[in-house]
């Protein structure tokens, strides 16, 4: 593993994805951005497309709808085939991850009563959605450390493919099968995996999934999320949000609610056309690069973080907060330190952008489309320097609102 900067630069020179970096708006060469797992960079193609689309809106007004209205399904199909290992007609882009999770969990719960289960480490919004649903439906809620032991009597299980804190990658196929043996359905949250980690929904036997587009898929702040329902299950599920965009003969207007066949029944209201264009461009870039190559590069970059952490940071009191084995790790590496919050502040001052997760996790996200080996080397070099000099002590231990 490369420990000299020259060796890191040589790996970049041999990187088959190197040219993708220039497809993003950069203009900040001093800044090392290691937070693409929270909000991805802006692709040049997206900036140009959005400018054009805003012009188009101004010119076409309501006559634009025939060209805009199918975007949720069209972009969903691109995601399905190019990123998620699903078939056309199994993915739709709509709403936020949180709302989609609610829709799928509520619909799955209608198929059979039982407990709602998730793990204590899951992303907060996933736990909140289940808490609310349990209260509304009078269902039992189990938030546990060991999901597999909580499967008997479960109806719906919510799991993250990649743990947002530790980066641990779950065994999707095995856990889906284990839940099915108990008659439970898993809703997978792909927010921290799709676009950087291979996802093969059909091959893994997955029936239900949701995920966001503004992390590794680079679709921008507030871009809509997606949901996946395996074809076999679609017509047995009903969305708890009965909206006109999921209605048969939508523009006939005066009919009683009668949802369309297929994934479209999970649409609720008018799609965010401008944001959908951003999702489409982001997904196109990912598809062009190929998830297999993205994964290879992501693993190489994460391994470099681990190697430099061991060599430089362990003597400074750091420990690894992520699995050591790349086979069970997503596309970020968390490192831990008792002064983690202050170190994050000092790092941002040094123009390295990580993020922080309680209680002491500094997340270093690797977005393989635009992160280079030298970025990792320089970021960890700046980090060791500032901790050696004790610069973190200039910052308060109190937290700010957005971390
Ligand atoms: C980022 C993320 C979300 C985001 O949910 P929003 O509704 O888009 O705010 C949800 N779940 C997980 C696991 C995430 O990482």
> Beta strand pairing status for 225-229 and 208-211?
antiparallel
For Cα atoms 78, 80, 86, give the angle at the middle one, nearest 5 degrees: 150
pLDDT of residue 239: 97
In a domain, 159, yes or no: yes
Do 220 and 106 fall into the same domain? yes
Q: Is 164 in the pocket of ligand 1 (CB under 6 A)?
A: yes
Neighbours of 64 (CB within 10 A): 15
- How many domains in the chain? 2
Q: Is 15 in the pocket of ligand 1 (CB under 6 A)?
A: no
Do 243 and 126 fall into the same domain? yes
Q: Catalytic residue numbers? A: 123, 189, 214-215, 363
CATH classification of the domain holding 155: 3.40.640.10
pLDDT of residue 255: 86
Average pLDDT, the chain: 96
Do 131 and 177 fall into the same domain? yes
Q: Is 125 in the pocket of ligand 1 (CB under 6 A)?
A: yes
Six token digits for residue 399: 């937290």
What 3-state DSSP class applies to 344? helix
Give the burial class of 141: count Cβ atoms within 10 A of its Cβ; 0-12 exposed, 13-18 middle, 19 or more buried.
middle
Give φ, ψ of 365 to 5 degrees. -90, 140
What 3-state DSSP class applies to 308? helix
In a domain, 37, yes or no: yes
Residue-wise pLDDT tens digits, 322-372: 999 999 999 999 999 999 999 999 999 999 999 999 999 999 999 999 999
Helix residue spans in 198-339 (DSSP H): 231-234, 273-289, 291-308
Q: Compute, in angstroms, the gap from residue 213 CA to the centroid of ligand 1.
A: 9
Q: Is 37 in the pocket of ligand 1 (CB under 6 A)?
A: no
Residue-wise pLDDT tens digits, 282-323: 999 999 999 999 999 999 999 999 999 999 999 999 999 999
Residue 89 predicted with pLDDT over 90? yes
In a domain, 64, yes or no: no
d(Cα 306, Cα 1) in Å, to the nearest integer? 10
pLDDT of residue 41: 98
Do 273 and 146 fall into the same domain? yes
d(Cα 359, Cα 111) in Å, to the nearest integer? 38
Q: Is the peptide bond before 359 cis (omega within 30 degrees of 0)?
A: yes
Q: Is 96 in the pocket of ligand 1 (CB under 6 A)?
A: yes
Banded model confidence at residue 97, pLDDT cuts 50, 70, 90 = very high
Do 19 and 147 fall into the same domain? no
Q: Is 312 in the pocket of ligand 1 (CB under 6 A)?
A: no
Neighbouring-strand partners of residue 353: 33
Residue 36 predicted with pLDDT over 60? yes
Show which of 289, 313, 339 is a domain's final residue.
289
Residue 150 predicted with pLDDT over 70? yes
Show which of 240, 261, 289 is a domain's final residue.
289
Six token digits for residue 42: 């802006």
In a domain, 308, yes or no: yes
Q: Compute, in angstroms, the gap from residue 98 CA to the centroid of ligand 1.
A: 7
The residue whose CA has the least distance to atom 10 of ligand 1 is: 97
CATH classification of the domain holding 364: 3.90.1150.10
Do 281 and 297 fall into the same domain? no
In a domain, 243, yes or no: yes
Neighbouring-strand partners of residue 374: none
Strand ranges of the sheet holding 91-94, from the earlier edge strand across to the other edge = 91-94, 225-229, 208-211, 185-189, 154-160, 115-119, 141-144
Q: Compute, in angstroms, the gap from residue 56 CA to the centroid of ligand 1.
A: 31
pLDDT of residue 399: 77
The residue whose CA has the least distance to atom 14 of ligand 1 is: 191
Q: How many residues are there in the chain?
A: 403
Q: Is 98 in the pocket of ligand 1 (CB under 6 A)?
A: yes
Q: Compute, in angstroms, the gap from residue 191 CA to the centroid of ligand 1.
A: 6
Do 274 and 338 fall into the same domain? no
Domain that holds residue 144: 69-289
Q: Which ligand 1 atom lies nearest to the CA of residue 189?
A: 13
393: left (phi over 0), alpha (psi -120 to 50) or beta: alpha
In a domain, 63, yes or no: no
Q: Which ligand 1 atom lies nearest to the CA of residue 192?
A: 15
pTM above 0.75, yes or no: yes
Give me the numbers of helices (H) and strands (E) for the chain, helices first please: 12, 13
pLDDT of residue 403: 66
Show which of 289, 315, 346 is a domain's final residue.
289
What percent of the chain is modeled with pLDDT above 90? 95
d(Cα 168, Cα 333) in Å, to the nearest integer? 9
In a domain, 360, yes or no: yes
How much is the average pLDDT of 108-131? Answer: 97
Torsion, Cα of 151, 324, 97, 247 (10° steps): -60
What 3-state DSSP class applies to 258? coil
pLDDT of residue 254: 82
How much is the average pLDDT of 159-167? Answer: 97
The residue whose CA has the least distance to atom 2 of ligand 1 is: 191
Do 24 and 132 fall into the same domain? no
How much is the average pLDDT of 105-120? Answer: 97
Q: Compute, in angstroms, the gap from residue 8 CA to the centroid of ligand 1.
A: 33
Q: Residue 104: in which H helix or E strand, if any?
A: helix 97-111
In a domain, 306, yes or no: yes
């Amino acid at each position: 593993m490369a420990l000299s900067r020259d060796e890191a630069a040589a790996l970049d020179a041999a990187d088959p994805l190197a040219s993708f970096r220039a497809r993003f708006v950069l203009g900040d060469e001093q800044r090392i951005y290691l937070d693409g797992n929270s909000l991805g960079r802006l692709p040049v193609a997206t900036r140009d497309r959005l400018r054009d689309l805003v012009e188009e809106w101004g010119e076409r007004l309501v006559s634009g709808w025939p060209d805009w209205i199918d975007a949720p399904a069209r972009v969903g199909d691109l995601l399905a085939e190019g990123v998620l290992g699903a078939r056309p007609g199994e993915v739709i882009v709509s709403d936020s991850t949180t709302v989609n999770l609610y829709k799928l969990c509520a619909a799955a719960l209608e198929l059979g009563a039982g407990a709602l289960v998730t793990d204590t480490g899951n992303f907060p919004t996933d736990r909140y959605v289940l808490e609310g649903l349990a209260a509304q439906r009078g269902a039992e809620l189990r938030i546990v450390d060991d999901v597999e032991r909580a499967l008997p009597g479960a109806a719906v299980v919510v799991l993250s493919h990649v743990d947002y804190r530790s980066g641990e990658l779950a065994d999707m196929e095995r856990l889906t099968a284990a839940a099915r043996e108990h008659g439970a359905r898993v809703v997978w949250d792909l927010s921290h995996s799709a676009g950087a980690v291979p996802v093969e929904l059909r091959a893994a036997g997955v029936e239900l999934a949701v995920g966001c587009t503004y992390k590794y898929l680079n679709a921008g702040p507030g871009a809509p999320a997606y949901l996946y329902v395996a074809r076999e299950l679609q017509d047995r599920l009903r969305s708890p949000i009965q909206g006109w965009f999921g209605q048969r003969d939508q523009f006939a207007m005066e009919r009683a609610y009668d949802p369309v066949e297929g994934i479209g029944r999970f649409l609720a209201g008018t799609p965010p056309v401008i944001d959908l264009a951003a999702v489409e461009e982001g997904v196109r870039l990912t598809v062009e690069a190929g998830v297999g190559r993205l994964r290879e590069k992501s693993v190489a970059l994460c391994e470099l973080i681990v190697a430099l952490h061991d060599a430089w940071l362990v003597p400074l009191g750091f420990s690894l907060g992520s699995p050591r084995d790349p086979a069970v790790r997503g596309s970020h590496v968390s490192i831990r330190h008792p002064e983690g919050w202050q170190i994050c502040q000092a790092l941002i001052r040094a123009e390295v952008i990580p993020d922080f997760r309680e209680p002491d996790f500094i997340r270093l996200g690797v977005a393989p489309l635009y992160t280079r080996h030298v970025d990792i080397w320089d970021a960890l070099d700046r980090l060791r320097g500032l901790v050696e000099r004790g610069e973190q002590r200039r910052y308060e231990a109190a937290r700010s609102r957005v971390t």
